[in-house]
A and B are shown apart, each in its own frame.
Chain A
Amino acid sequence: MIALENFSVNLGQFYLKNINIRVAKGEIFAILGATGAGKTVILEALAGLYTAENGAIYIDQQNVSNTLPEERNLGYVHQDYSLFPHLSVYQNIEFGLKIKKIPKTERLNKVKDISHVLGIEHLLSRYPRTLSGGEQQRTALARALVMNPKILLMDEPFSALDCNTKERMYDMINMIHERYGCTIIFVTHDLHEAKRLADRVAVIQNGELKMICSSCEIQNKDLL
């Protein structure tokens, strides 16, 4: 379980105020809001980029507010995928495993497994600049999932994809959720996307939590 309790972050020009969110284990949770509402700040705070001004973040009842990002065991997929341009797809996926000093053969097996699941086996020797948006997306997902995270955070993961690729990626996310059983929190500005994927949705406006409801209940007017 993940919980943000009375969580506030002051970034000088932006203030995230008193956020209270609880996400159950295994849930797919969407953070919905317009551009500049503070959705990404919540996700980055969960990943450990910001220090809380007030409140705390709990993961499995443990206060992780002062835990370093590298010790939180969260998978993070960035909006622009943030693949390391100097590394091949294989090396990108292998990156975290290498940091954790996993033996070479085990690393190879893990990278092959995850790339098979995500259908990017044929891309392993390529470099990020040569990949399409969808391929970069799957590589970023593979890089996060290979670490076997308990929680997967995704920042606007589908915003740069065309409609057909988006639909395929929605199915892929559902498949990943079933297969790995991790909790997924993703940020989006697309109501359809939130309804399509999430169990519950939190609506953020101007750095404040407006409402949390089931994805079936949410309507366009809730975003206004």
Chain B
Amino acid sequence: MKSPQKHVYLFDILANLTAVLVMLFILVALSSIVVKGFPYIGEAFLSEEVRFAVKLSLYTSSVSTLVCLLLAIPTAYAVTKTSLPFKRFFEIIIELPLSLPHIVLGLCLLLIFSSDFGTFLKAHDFKVIFEVNGIISAHIFINLPFVIRIIKTAFMGVDSRLEFAARTLGASKFKMFWRVTLPLSKNAVIGAMILAWSRALGEFGGALMVAGITRMKTETLTANVYLNMATGDVGQALASATILLIISLISLLLFNAFNKQTGLKILCCINT
């Protein structure tokens, strides 16, 4: 029996070569941090400051991710499944922060919370500027459009006939959403949650503008890397960067595990 002829295409070879180069570049860049930072990790964990930064990073990322989800799910539903007027306008405004630098978004928040509104919040014991709340606000502002976009794409993918079937079986709009739309978007929601969490963990510019960097107060892991580099403690900076890298790697692995099927779709929608 004749074996099928195998063609070798120049384009495929060039594409493969490019992929190898890109992968090597990323691998070498990240490995350089791990290799140089790993010896300092034990020492870093003994430092109260690093432990504080890890705890604060985990806390602010988790709270902001939860708030993002609580706001993103109804918003994504409104723009995909209801007859909200001026829907396109809503979508453009909501997605606008995706194309802005984080530092500019942080500046927006700084202006809002420095205004009378901020003074009003402060008077009611909700301080934002130079506070942990500032870090959380920045994370929410930066990640919310991103989470909305992922969940919106998932909701759009739910067949409207399934939702109509649920209605004909007696489900109200809320029950239809709760029992059909949301379960069918589960993977995307979990994926969005993990990605938002890891993005919040690595966020720096936006939080810097709103909360600044005060040692042992608003010092997240990324702020710790910056502070240690600024004071010339490269070892500590590398150790903190390695911890960040390990946490990000774990969240990425979790993301892939939850999104074996929808992961690709989500990554596509992030990039468009």
A residues lining the B interface (CB < 8 Å) = 44, 47-49, 68-70, 72, 74-76, 78, 80, 82, 84-86, 95-96, 99-100, 143-144, 147
Determine chain B's interface SS by DSSP, over half rule.
helix
Closest chain B residue to A81, Cβ basis: B165
Whether the Cβ atoms of A70 and B171 lie closer than 8 Å is yes
Whether the Cβ atoms of A85 and B184 lie closer than 8 Å is yes
Q: Which of B108-116, B172-180, B243-251 contacts A (4 or more CB under 8 A)?
A: B172-180
B99 within 8 A of A: no
Which residues from B are CB-within-8-Å of A70? Answer: 167-172
B39 within 8 A of A: no
Which residues from B are CB-within-8-Å of A144? Answer: 168-169
Which residues from A are CB-within-8-Å of B183? Answer: 86
Whether the Cβ atoms of B167 and A95 lie closer than 8 Å is no
How far apart are the CA atoms of A147 and B166 in the complex, in Å? Answer: 12
B233 within 8 A of A: no
How far apart are the CA atoms of A96 and B175 in the complex, in Å? Answer: 11
Rank and list the top 8 A-B pairs by shortest CB-CB distance, nearest first: A96-B169, A76-B168, A69-B167, A82-B165, A99-B170, A82-B161, A70-B170, A99-B171
Cβ contacts A to B, 13 pairs, < 8 Å: A68-B167, A70-B168, A72-B168, A75-B168, A76-B165, A78-B165, A80-B161, A82-B164, A85-B162, A86-B183, A96-B169, A144-B168, A147-B170
Given the known inter-chain contacts A84-B180, A86-B183, A86-B184, please indicate yes or no for A96 contacting B170, CB distance below 8 A: yes
How far apart are the CA atoms of A145 and B169 in the complex, in Å? Answer: 10
B43 within 8 A of A: no
What is the distance, in angstroms, from A89's C-beta to the closest C-beta of chain B? Answer: 14
| B164 partner, pick from A49, A72, A100, beta carbons under 8 A | A49
Chain B interface size band reads 10 to 19
- List residues 184-242 of chain B with CB under 8 A from any CB of chain A: 184, 186
Contact code string B102-135 (vs A, CB < 8 Å = 1, else 0): 0000000000000000000000000000000000
Which residues from B are CB-within-8-Å of A76? Answer: 164-165, 168
B residues lining the A interface (CB < 8 Å) = 159, 161-162, 164-172, 175, 179-180, 183-184, 186
Which residues from B are CB-within-8-Å of A84? Answer: 162, 165-166, 180, 184
What is the distance, in angstroms, from A141's C-beta to the closest C-beta of chain B? Answer: 13
Whether the Cβ atoms of B161 and A95 lie closer than 8 Å is no
Whether the Cβ atoms of A99 and B175 lie closer than 8 Å is yes
Which residues from A are CB-within-8-Å of B172? Answer: 68, 70
Whether the Cβ atoms of A47 and B168 lie closer than 8 Å is yes
How far apart are the CA atoms of A73 and B165 in the complex, in Å? Answer: 12
Given the known inter-chain contacts A70-B170, A147-B169, please indicate yes or no for A95 contacting B179, CB distance below 8 A: yes
What is the distance, in angstroms, from A87's C-beta to the closest C-beta of chain B? Answer: 8
Which residues from A are CB-within-8-Å of B162? Answer: 82, 84-85
Which residues from A are CB-within-8-Å of B161? Answer: 78, 80, 82
**Apart from the given pairs A84-B165, A95-B179, A99-B170, 6 other A-B contacts in the complex at a CB distance below 8 Å:** A44-B164, A70-B167, A70-B171, A78-B161, A84-B180, A147-B169
How far apart are the CA atoms of A95 and B164 in the complex, in Å? Answer: 13
Given the known inter-chain contacts A84-B180, A85-B184, please indicate yes or no for A100 contacting B170, CB distance below 8 A: yes
| B168 partner, pick from A74, A80, A85, beta carbons under 8 A | A74
